[in-house]
Amino acid sequence: MIDGAYSAAGALTGLLVGLTGVGGGSLMTPILLLFFGVPPATAVATDLWFAALTKMVGARVHSYGGQIDWQVVRRLWAGSLPVAIVVVTVVALGNNVGKLDWLTKAIGVGVLITAAGLLLAPRLLAKARERRLHDPVHFHKLQPPLTVAAGATLGLCVALTSVGAGALGNVMLLFLYPLRMTPHRLVATDIVHAIPLTLAAGTGYLIAGMVDFRMLASMLAGGIPAIIVGSLLARKFSSRWLQVVLALVLVAVGVKTLL
């Protein structure tokens, strides 16, 4: 049976992800923890599948504009997928998630880092553009290995906490590709990268029996229509103001999670 409260939470998160590429794990997981009292391991596991399935729909909408940068996506996957698989194998399949008393704290820290990244994104972008224009040859050589390293960092964060694929991925891509990533290309590329990453991490939690399917169905009932609407609207206006508002909300959520 569909639970309206979970559907509303899914709709809010789906709309934000469609508009900005941000908000999947960084918003949904704390909502499940703080407002619904879901155990941390179940929140992470269920949110990973919510993120994967809604972003499949969002990616389909964004792909019509030809905005996905597949070279960047492949570089991110080279780092994120192996790390996520290793982490999930050790933690989830090793039945160690329930023993991670610090998991809630880790989610709170991840949310605060995400918020900081969103707020500082314009400054980081300006610095990256300056370096890109000042020494383009050196910057270009560093892009592939740094993108793989960024993917590895995202794989670790997402596999442990489900936080980071959208917001941190956005910030990292802006810093690494300051001239290449237009707002719409950034959102589309980040969403596509997150799909196999969340599937890989989510599969381990699924095998370990940590996914709440009834809760997931309710979240998807609101999230899938909302991400379609958000993805269509993303082409019509800038999402920067939404990112700032989301960052401020995440600061409050992160602090509350830690306390």
Instruction: Give me the number of domains the chain comprises.
Output: 1
Would you state the pLDDT for residue 97?
58
Residue in this structure with the two tokens 């809630």, named with its chain if needed: 104
Residue pair 75/148 in contact by the 8 Å Cβ criterion: yes
Would you state the pLDDT for residue 10?
93
Residues 165 and 26: their CA atoms lie apart, in Å, by 9
Residue pair 25/161 in contact by the 8 Å Cβ criterion: yes
Residue in this structure with the two tokens 């009834």, named with its chain if needed: 214
Would you state the pLDDT for residue 96?
60
Six-digit token string for 86 = 């290793």
With 0-12 / 13-18 / 19 or more C-beta atoms within 10 angstroms meaning exposed / middle / buried, residue 130 is exposed
Residues 162 and 31: their CA atoms lie apart, in Å, by 13
Cβ neighbors of 16 (< 8 A, separation 6 or more) are 22, 23, 27, 230, 242, 246
Six-digit token string for 5 = 């409260």
Instruction: Per-residue pLDDT tens, the chain, 259 aa: give them.
Output: 889 999 999 999 888 888 776 767 778 888 898 889 898 889 989 999 998 998 888 787 766 667 789 999 999 999 999 999 998 888 766 666 555 567 778 888 878 887 887 788 788 878 888 877 788 888 889 999 999 999 999 999 888 888 777 778 888 888 899 888 887 788 788 888 989 999 998 998 898 888 999 999 999 999 999 988 887 887 676 667 777 777 787 787 778 778 7
Residues 18 and 55: their CA atoms lie apart, in Å, by 8
With 0-12 / 13-18 / 19 or more C-beta atoms within 10 angstroms meaning exposed / middle / buried, residue 105 is middle
Q: What is the CA radius of gyration of the chain?
A: 17
Would you state the pLDDT for residue 11?
93
Residue pair 91/211 in contact by the 8 Å Cβ criterion: no
Diameter of the chain measured on Cα atoms: 58
Would you state the pLDDT for residue 184?
77
Would you state the pLDDT for residue 64?
64
> Does the predicted TM-score (pTM) go above 0.75?
yes
Would you state the pLDDT for residue 127?
83
Residues 133 and 126: their CA atoms lie apart, in Å, by 11
Residue type, 162: S
Give kind and range of the element (H or E) at residue 151. Answer: helix 136-161
Residue in this structure with the two tokens 């237009």, named with its chain if needed: 182
Residue type, 128: A
User: What count of residues does the chain have?
Assistant: 259
How many other β-carbons are positioned within 10 Å of the β-carbon of residue 12?
17
Write out the residue range of the structural domain in which residue 105 sits: 4-258
Would you state the pLDDT for residue 111?
81
Would you state the pLDDT for residue 48?
92
